[in-house]
Each structure stands twice: as C-alpha cells, then as structure tokens.
Structure 1
C-alpha cells in the first residue's frame, strides 16, 4: 500500500499504511481521489493586486520604484514556492497536490510576475483532478501563459506562432500529429487573445483575424476556443496526455504501449475526466506488479515533501527549502524550459545522489548546509537574466549555515508505540522503503543508538532515509 501512497501522493506514515492493509483497494482509492469530506481547494494567496504599484502606470515608474516592484515580485515568488510546499506537506488531499505538481511541469511557464504565477497555480490546483478540457482552456487564458508564449504579440497583421505551436506540441497532441500549416492557421485563430493591466483575460476583436482557417481537416472562422475544442476532439490528445500521466505515475523507463492505449481510450470516452483516468490506473491489478514497485526515482519535490510528511519539521527559515530544491535540481516556478523537467534518471548524478543521502542527517542533526546550490538558468527570450541571478545569489547565501528547525519527533515516535523492540528496525524499513530487502537489518541494528527506544527509532529512521533505496518509490 505504500506503493500507492507514494505514487498518489508523497508517502504515508506507518499507522495509515497499517490501517490500509485491512481495507479494500476500492475503498482506499476512492478516499485518495475524493479527499476529505467537504474538501475545497483553498487558494494559496501571497499578494493582492493592490499590494503592487498600478501596472497601468508602469511605464511612468521611476527607477527606484521599478526596483522595488522587481524585489516584491522576486520575494513573492519565493513565498509562493514555500507556501505551496507547505500545502503539499500538510494537505489532507495529497493526490490533488501531486496532480498539480504534474500539471505544473506539463504547463511549464516562467514569469517574474508573482500575481501571474499565483493565478496560474490557483487554476492548476482547482482543476487538477477535474476535466482536462476545462484545465487546458483555463491555463491557456492565464496572463502567465499568454505572456510567456508571446500571444500578446499575436495580431492579425503579424501572427506570432509561439503560443499555437506549444499548445499543440506540449499541451495536447504532441509532435507528429500536426503540420506547420496547422500551426500557422491556429496562430491566426488565437489572435486577439490577451490580458488587461489587472491580469484578466480579454479578447481583442480589432486584432483578431476573422478570416477562414483550415485546421486539422476542418474549415471555418475559428477563434482560440474553437482551436482547443478541435484539439480535444483528436484522440491523439488523449493519447499524449495519458502517456505523460503514465510515465509520471506508473513507469517512466519502460512505458507499456498497450496499457496506455487502453487508458487513453477510456480517458477520451469519459470526456477527459482526469479523476477517472487516475482511478483506472490505481484500480488496475498491473499497477501493483512487483516490477513497478520501487522503480520510480523521487523528484526533488517528492523527496522533500515526503520527508517532511514523515517527520514534521518547522525550519527557522522556511526559504531553506528553496536552497534544497536548487541543490537537487527542481525549483518550483523555474522550469528549465517550455518542456518542463525531464525527470527520471535525470534527477540523479554523482553529486545529487550524495547530497540526497546526506540530507536527512543534515536536517535532523542540524548540520552545516555545505553543498553549493545549482544555478537556475535564465529562460531564453525572457529578459530575466538579472532576476534569475538574484535568485541564485539568494540560494548561495544559505551555504555553510546551519539548518535550524524544530523537529517534532514526538508525533513520529508515537507511530511505533505498539511495535515490539525486536520488530522495530524491520517495521521502520518496511514503512520507509519499497524494497527494504536490500537493506540489512543487522547493519541498521549495529549503527543504531540503543541507549533508549526513542533514540533507536530516530537513528534507524535516519539511517534508512540515508540509503540509495530511499530515493526510490
């Protein structure tokens, strides 16, 4: 059951897993999909429009005010990062946040405007388990995405193809299912899609191309909404999205084409119901095949969130989580490019694996943060080189500082109160690892502090979390 807990969230603690062993799969999966009773997606709000200077007057701002706005945006994005991670850690509906993390990579976007980031995150979290068509439309109309993919510059006299290309290539059908002519025609249809000074979507009729378009075998005076509907009518879209979901939640290294095709057909026939797609995955017997268990390399966010959901920690400076993200190679709101994070084996190299294994003792023993964070590379064409460098410099300031925080060991120790001393090491290893057979119980016993039951649990837990096997789920 820990396999399901990690793939559908960020792992669960021993009492939850023990409870699940007495329940039917259908009951557990339904609970995971629905979340707690009367669960509502509470927006993560860092800043209000009124907190920033009037953007309608941005051209008239003096240099000092511009600098202040830039600093507020940079700090705001950090705060948004920390707040979302905190929501992942504390959420009673981890699948929603895990699904939102998936869509955050699928709809990869960079903007230095904290309000735009905040709005896009809200759209993704609200629609994470809803209807893909609704999610696609809502994301496509956010100022963050319209700005990032240059659709503000897409006008009938001078079409800009960037937005149309990425919608087809990365958001819906994938390469090989459209032509350059289709991109040009779709770009014409998306003319007029823009946003106002307050970040609201607007359709500018004067800049929209009213001519007839020929797109993917259809002809008409299409607008942007029409294009999205046409893309959703194509089974290639269901196939592309299902394949990405399968790789993220099931198996990235050897995806099973036959299983993906079956899931894609059901996804398409459901009208793109994301929750039903996930139900079909989690209810399938093959999902629990031993060959799929413990084969997924945890992304940096999965690793960090899973760690903190297991052992609650309140850091003196929560921004240290951003430094952890940079060292491990996945900083929220800073995807490496329009395709998002590559994932899989790309998460691991010699330095990052060593750091991953040092991280538990570094946090739980309050050791020095002695590894330099990896630099975030400025996105090409964003004009944000200076801002990106400021983010990198801020992360480096954590170097050589002690990681201070309050570790709530009591909550964790209570999890094992009914486990006998002889079974403690095995129970902890079986809870934290998917393939615990590779970790010697004798070695755990030898390295554990046996001066007290509490110290034994703590030291065995840290030892298990410091293994290569803990990097997998």
Structure 2
C-alpha cells in the first residue's frame, strides 16, 4: 500500500519535511511504522555545546569595569548569542532526531525565556531537549529551577515578607493551567511557596535558600498546608486542566489552529493517564486517523525557523556566513532565544502579513539562485541591459549571503521520469490549484521550476 501522502504529512509535522530519497524509501510504510521510526530516530539526545563560558561569573563587579572591559564583554555576549543560534539551526537542519528537535522548538516557545546570558539559555534549551519526549512534570520542575527562568521571571527577588508574584503567575497562566483556572489569591499563596528558590551568583547553580523561604501555612487551589514550590507543582499537575491546556497547545502546533474540543479531550485523557509522559501522547495523535484528514493537511503556517530549516534540509544548504540566518530570522519575526515576551511567539496566521509574505517568497531564490530570475526566450537589447544589471546584483547577493545549496544531490534524489507536476505536489503540502499546475507544467529546466515552486505562498504552509 502506498502511504506517501500520510508519511509526507507526518514528516511535515513531526519533523521539518521529508526529502525525495526518504519518501521513496518510506512510502510503503504504515503510519504506525512511520511514527515508531521517528521516535526511534529521536531516542538519542544531542545536547548543544556552543557556549562554554558563563560571562556572568566574571568576578569583577559591573561598576568597577572600565569602558574597554564592558565593550569586550558585550562583544563576547554577541558572539555567544550568534554561536548558540547557529548551533541550534544547524542541529535542526542536520539531525536525524527530527521529532526531538521539533518538540524542543515547541517547548522553547511554551517556556518562553529571554535573558542576555547565552550560557543559561543553552542550559535551559538542553533541559527542554533532554525532556522533550520524556515526562512533562520532570521538565516543569527542572525548567522552573534554571537560572534562566529564575532570572527572567524575577524569582531571585521572591523572598518572605517581600514576595514577587511574577513566576507564580506565569507558571499558572502560561505554563500549566491557563487563564481562568486559578484566582489572584492562588497567585499570592503560590508565590509565597516559591520564596527561597534561587540560583547561586558564584557558580550559576540552583539553590534553595531556607532563610528567605516563607514557612507559613498557605492555601492553594482549595488545599491548605505549609507548601513549598515542589508541592505547588504537584498540585497543579494533579489538576487535569493542566493536561488539557498542554494538549490544546500541542493540537494547535501539530494539527490545526482551531482546536477540536473532543480530540483535545481524548489527548488529555491519554496524557493524564500516562502521568504526563509525552511519548504516548505523541503516538496517540500521530497514529490517529483524524490527524491525516484533508482539513488537517497543508493548513498550518510554517514558523520562520521551520521554513528556514525545511529549506536547509531539502536543499542541503551550507552557510559560510551564519549571521545571514539570524538576519533572516529578524526579518521574519522569530529569532531563536529571543521571544517577544513570556507568552512567546503567537504563531499561526500571525506569522504572515503582506510584507513578511513577500520577504518569505523572495528568500528561496535569494539562497538557491542568488536572487536571479531566469528569463527564457531571446533577449532584446533592452533586456540585455537589464540582465547585465541583474548579473551584477546576483554577484552582490552571492557575496552577501554566502550560502550554497547542493543542487547535484537534490536533483539526483528525484526519481527518474518524475513529472514537473509531481515534483511540485511533493514540494507543497496543500493540493495544487489550477494556477500552480499551469505554471509548473510550462516548459523549463528543472531547477527553475523547483525555485518557482518554493517561492509560492503555498510553500509557506505545512
């Protein structure tokens, strides 16, 4: 049985897309085998190790630094930020553990965090990666105790008699229960339970400071005791609303922007009964017939990172200047490790507006063909002048972008006798419309046709 459509959809969602050679090998797999193989490929954890020095642990206080010392530290911070960003993009672009990286990207936005310390950001990202397919409760505790999150949500300042409610509020509103499932009093009481949660300024490790912890009785979500932070996390995850909240976000991320309450309820049952183990939940909905319904195919907008990584994987792109990838991220509105706020990137249709869509549609030709538009037919003298200017512009693009696609490998992967229309349908998730069919069936060389296909609005969907 040829399951090419389902396998292609599975890899578009559970990974960053599938290549011709891979689909040719996998098109006769059952969906269950595809899910099993994706999970097996993601068993290994490949931690990022781009940042090896914690600049915040330099001993000299900021006020005692000279202008030159501050300048050097800022240069080091920028260098570390670029190195970390580049390392993760490369890992997503090259790894066989696609599902683990796709889930790490989900948790990266779920536990959105933006601090100027790349060492702490890397640590948080590696915790999300290690637990991405593991247990949500384990990850929740570990994430909550990272220097990055304690710093970002001000729990360093959360002390008895002077509670800071920021972490307690975002924990419930954005990480677990969702708005409307707790009271302001619950925020106040849980903030007291998290007093004393801090990290050491000397070595950057988590420590519990009993001297600043409020040991008084707290009442939280209807229960009363002398709670500490771990107790609050347990009470929150005992509440099935947490499973429902997480599953709603996963449904929007993997299935459809409009949640189906009945499907989400099924997912929440699986997740809650599995004691928040993530793998059984993924197996449940990736294997469900409804995941492969036409209404759930080609209906999600790729995030900028998914778009760039998908291009990298499909065309084996090598960037000699990694800064260009950060520039693309900035222009498209998603710089890794720099979410806009604690709620993260809103995602979905908000990724696209008129200017970002035009920019997205230009990026493939910029990378794959140095921005040059191919003209067919005999050129007039006026065209010759235009083409000469285009060639000069192309040289400028090549020098600036410094990216090379492995066209030989890409074209070699395409099975013999594949029509232009079949290639276009493979490259795009939505069903081809008549305009697209007319465009790709025109005479032209294969490379030009492929660049046209990945420069369409439809290519922005997965």
User: Shared fold by TM > 0.5?
Assistant: yes
CA 1:64/1:447 → structure 2, altered by over 3 Å: closer, same or farther? farther
Aligned counterpart, 1:430: 425
Please name the residue that 1:443 is paired with.
439
Equivalent residue, structure 1, for 2:233: 228
Identify which of 7, 21, 32 aligns with 1:26. Answer: 32
Whole-Å Cα distance in 2 between the matches of residues 49 and 301 of structure 1?
Answer: 26
Structure 1 segment 75-154 matched on structure 2, within 5 A: 75-154=79-158
Structure 1's 427 and 241: CA in aligned 2 closer, same or farther, altered over 3 A?
A: same
Which residue does the alignment assign to 1:238?
A: 243
1:387 corresponds in structure 2 to none
The corresponding residue for 1:406 is 404
Deviations 1:230-252 (A, max 9, x none): 11101110010010011111001
Q: Is the 8 A contact 1:74 1:114 kept in 2?
A: no
1:251 and 2:256 equivalent?
yes
1:464 lines up with 2:453 in the alignment: yes
| CA displacement, residues 411-449 of structure 1 (integer Å, 9 cap, x when unaligned) | 111111x321xx331221121112242153342232623
- From 55, 58, 61, the equivalent of 2:61 is 58
Alignment check: 8 A CA contact 2:317 2:404 kept:
yes
Matched, 1:284 2:288: yes
> Structure 2: how far apart are the matches of 1:401 and 1:218?
64
Give the C-alpha shift of residue 23 in structure 1.
1.2
Aligned-pair CA distance for 1:333 = 0.9
SS for the counterpart of 1:446 is coil
Match of 2:326 in 1: 322
Deviations 1:187-240 (A, max 9, x none): 000000000122100000100001111111111111111111111101110010
1:194 is paired with a residue of what secondary structure?
A: strand
Residues in 2 aligned to 1:281 and 1:359: alpha-carbon distance in whole angstroms? 33
Unaligned segments of structure 1, at least 5 residues: 369-397, 450-455
Residues 54/136 of structure 1: CA separation in 2 closer, same or farther (3 Å cut): closer
The equivalent residue for 2:391 is none
Q: Distance in 2 between matches of 1:296 and 1:53?
A: 40
In the alignment, is residue 274 of structure 1 matched against residue 286 of structure 2?
no
Alpha-carbon spacing, 1:295–1:367, altered in 2? closer, same or farther (3 Å): same
Q: State the secondary structure of the residue aligned to 1:124.
A: helix
Partner residue in 2 for 1:293: 297
Q: 1:182 aligns with which of 179, 183, 186?
A: 186
The equivalent residue for 2:370 is 366
CA contact (8 A) 1:77 1:117 kept: no
- Aligned-pair RMSD on alpha carbons? 1.8
Aligned to 1:71: 75
Q: Runs of 4 or more off by more than 6 Å in structure 1?
A: 398-401
Aligned mate of 1:419, from 416, 420, 431 = 416
- Taking the aligned partners of 2:397 and 2:229, their CA distance within structure 1 comes to 47
The 8 Å contact of residues 366 and 402 in structure 1, kept in 2 or not, is answered as no
The match for 1:9 is 15
1:310-389 to structure 2, matched below 5 A, reads 310-367=314-371
Deviations 1:239-283 (A, max 9, x none): 10010011111001x210011011101100100011111111100
1:63 CA displacement:
3.2
Contact 1:12 1:310 in 2 (8 A): yes
**Mapping of residues 148-227 of structure 1, within 5 Å:** 148-197=152-201, 198-227=203-232
- Give 1:53 shift: 7.1
Q: 3-state SS of the aligned residue for 2:329?
A: helix
Q: Is the Cα–Cα contact under 8 Å of residues 145 and 206 in structure 2 kept in the other structure?
A: yes
> Are the equivalent residues in 2 in contact too, given 1:329–1:347 (CA < 8 A)?
yes
CA displacement at 1:48 relative to structure 2 = 1.9
Q: Distance in 2 between matches of 1:264 and 1:40?
A: 26
Instruction: State the number of aligned residues.
Output: 430
Partner of 1:395: none
